[in-house]
């Protein structure tokens, strides 16, 4: 990972134009090519970012990050205070808690509990940014990516969106749709999931252990 602390401006050109005026910020360049610009506050969310795959051209006083969609992020470096590089090595990924992991196992064994006609392709389907909980095909043969959470929050929806972006890089899979599954889904996450075109399913863990799919609730 490359970490740069610098006084900079940032300009995004793409679906919408956006500008970050001059300020001191942290610029992160991850091993997969993802670029994120952070302020000293605002928790985990970057001010602006460009997900992989993309191309970064370092012109010294400014960087230009572009992706296959034609979007561009220009970072103009006015004063660099610090620059470091770190090798992280392989990451084992997030270890799910017992309930969430077991929930995933139960749903993998009976994907029809999520949706009639689903058949499992693979559990923990690998991608360059981490494994997808479940990948299935529906009754029509369309690929369905499923993210399973104990509590459904916005982070989980964003995670599913990133996974689907990776799957769409494989043209042999066709158009992939998403399903967000959790024991309970926060209203904000439900709104975001529906805006992204994902189906949202709430499951009762205790009932699911008895494999009673009529106890599932679909929004």
Structure tokens at 155: 């982070």
CB burial class (10 A; 0-12, 13-18, 19+) of residue 197? exposed
Distance CA 42, CA 30 (A): 20
Count Cβ neighbours within 10 Å for each residue of 84-115 and write b for 16 or more, e otherwise: eeeeeeeeeeeeeeeebeebbebbbeebebbb
**pTM given for the model:** 0.56
The whole-number pLDDT of residue 158 equals 94
Contact in structure between 118 and 127 (CB atoms under 8 Å): no
The whole-number pLDDT of residue 96 equals 55
Tens digit of each residue's pLDDT (9 = 90 or more) over 44-74: 788 998 888 899 999 999 999 999 888 999 9
Tens digit of each residue's pLDDT (9 = 90 or more) over 123-152: 999 998 889 999 999 999 999 999 999 889
For 74, which DSSP code? E
Q: Which of 147, 181, 145, 179 is nearest to 164 (CA)?
A: 145
DSSP output for 92-157: --PPPPHHHHHHHHHHHH-GGGTSTT-EEEEEEE--TT--EEEEEE-TT--EEEEEEEEEE-HHHH
Q: Which domains, ranges and CATH numbers included, belong to the chain?
A: 2-85 (2.70.180.20), 98-218 (3.40.1350.10)
């Amino acid at each position: 990972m490359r970490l740069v602390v610098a006084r900079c401006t940032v300009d995004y050109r793409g679906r919408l134009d956006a500008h970050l005026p001059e300020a001191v910020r942290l610029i992160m360049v991850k091993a997969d090519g993802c670029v994120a610009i952070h302020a000293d506050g605002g928790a985990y969310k970057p001010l602006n970012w460009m997900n992989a795959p993309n191309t970064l051209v370092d012109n010294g006083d400014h960087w230009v990050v572009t992706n296959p969609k034609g979007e561009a992020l220009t970072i103009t470096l006015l004063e660099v205070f610090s620059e470091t590089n770190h090798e992280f090595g392989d990451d084992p990924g997030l270890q799910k808690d017992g309930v969430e992991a077991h929930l995933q196992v139960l749903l993998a064994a009976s994907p029809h509990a999520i949706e009639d006609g689903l058949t499992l392709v693979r559990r923990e389907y690998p991608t360059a940014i981490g494994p997808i909980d479940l990948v299935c095909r529906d009754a029509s043969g369309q690929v369905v990516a499923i993210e399973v959470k104990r509590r459904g929050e916005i982070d989980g929806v964003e995670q599913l969106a990133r996974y689907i972006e990776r799957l769409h890089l494989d043209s042999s899979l066709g158009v992939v749709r998403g399903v967000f599954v959790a024991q309970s889904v926060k209203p904000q996450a439900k709104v975001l999931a529906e805006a992204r075109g994902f189906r949202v399913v709430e499951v009762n863990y205790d009932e699911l252990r008895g494999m009673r799919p009529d106890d599932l609730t679909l929004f």
